[in-house]
Amino acid sequence: MTHIDPTRESFDVFKSLPRDQPIDMLNLIRLREAALYPAGRKVSGAEAYAEYGKVSGPVFQRVGGEIIWRGEPQAMLIGPADGLWDIAFIARYPSAGAFLEMVTDEFYQREAVPHRQAAVSDSRLIRHAVKTGGQRFG
């Protein structure tokens, strides 16, 4: 089973949590080799995801989002051997309300989402409460 868009149930859980606090969204993305556009556009999944980033960027910035961490997955130490992701990053939003504003924005839905859907073969998007770092686990 692959996961590209939120289910109604998972979106309802997200919306039931506090909306006025900063959140970090862990994004794990596996790209298609060839993007899957309904009209048959011929580009790679990486190219389609880059277009998603370009088109969604102004909306992301307008709501106050920022990428606070980005990494290049290299090896799976714990987990399935085929579980390596192509893209991993954490996006911080000033509030869950800001994230909701972005994902429900008409321009974002119409112009950006189709590129993400064409590019992504599987993904995970995990909401986190913002916590401080340090030198200890837990």
H-run or E-run covering 52:
helix 45-62
What is the count of structural domains for the chain?
1
- Where residue 40 falls among pLDDT bands split at 50, 70, 90? confident
Residue 49 has pLDDT above 90, yes or no: yes
At 81-131, the pLDDT tens digits run 888 899 999 999 999 999 999 999 999 999 999 999 999 999 999 999 999
Domain-located, residue 120? yes
Q: Copy the structure tokens of residue 104.
A: 């429900």
Domain-located, residue 37? yes
69 is in which domain, residue-wise? 25-129
At 6-35, the pLDDT tens digits run 899 999 999 999 999 999 999 999 999 999
Residues 3 and 123: their CA atoms lie apart, in Å, by 5
Domain-located, residue 115? yes
Domain-located, residue 97? yes
| Amino acid type, 91 | A
Question: What distances in angstroms separate CA 111 from CA 56, 60, 108, one per listed residue?
Answer: 8, 13, 5
The CATH number of residue 105's host domain is 3.30.70.100
- Where residue 138 falls among pLDDT bands split at 50, 70, 90? confident
Domain-located, residue 74? yes
